[in-house]
Amino acid sequence: MEETKMNMPLLGDAFPELKVQTTHGPMDLPSDMKGKWFVLFSHPADFTPVCTTEFVAFQKRYKEFEELGCSLIGMSIDQVFSHIKWIEWIKTKLDVEIKFPIVAANDSVALKLGMLHPSKGTNTVRAVFIVDPESKVRLIMYYPQEVGRNIDEIIRVVKALQISDRQGAVAAGWPNNELIGDRIIVPPATNEKDAQKRPDEYECFDWWFCHKPLEK
């Protein structure tokens, strides 16, 4: 009997090729998202309280993700008809229209992403994958079933990744770091000559910890 193996892409890996059915029709991931950032987030099950609060929170910030050029894609093991009924319920009862697609994953898809919860049967964990325009996995977050996600943090890290790609590393809590605010960290010097020059070129705590203004 072939052993079921659960895989999980690592940071910097290509996002696995998936052919999936969604509430917006079939999708090929990551091909259909090539050239765009996207956030794929899984939830344990439709018609559950914590998941419902998360979906409403994602939708409330939908425009913020759009402004970042970042698409949202939900996912769980539930079938498409369940997803459709659930988003109808959310619209009717909570007056929130879910505009992003929801993937009806099967075990094979969930296993490729390491989303199956070992102690919860076929439920998928609360996973978040942030994927860049080159289809590379840039950030992964996992939450237990009993703790809902902070959607503002997901927006923050999408912004931070985009800023870091263009300008350099960002500090803890960016853009509100206790030491340097929203300024960008300059990569440490790798030789003595550059190390000696750093304090003249940038604001520094020391040659290995220099920072520069954020380019707006």
Q: For residue 172, how many other CB atoms are within 10 A of its CB? A: 9
Residue of 51, 70, 204, 210 with catalytic role: 51
Q: CA–CA separation, 68 vs 93, rounded Å?
A: 29
The terminus-to-terminus CA distance of the chain in angstroms comes to 57
For 112, the token pair is 């490729």
CB 152 within 8 A of CB 64: no
To the query of whether residue 51 is one of the catalytic residues in this protein, the response is yes
Residues 6+ apart with CB under 8 A from 23: 80, 83, 84, 87, 101, 102, 104
- Residues with a catalytic annotation lie at 51
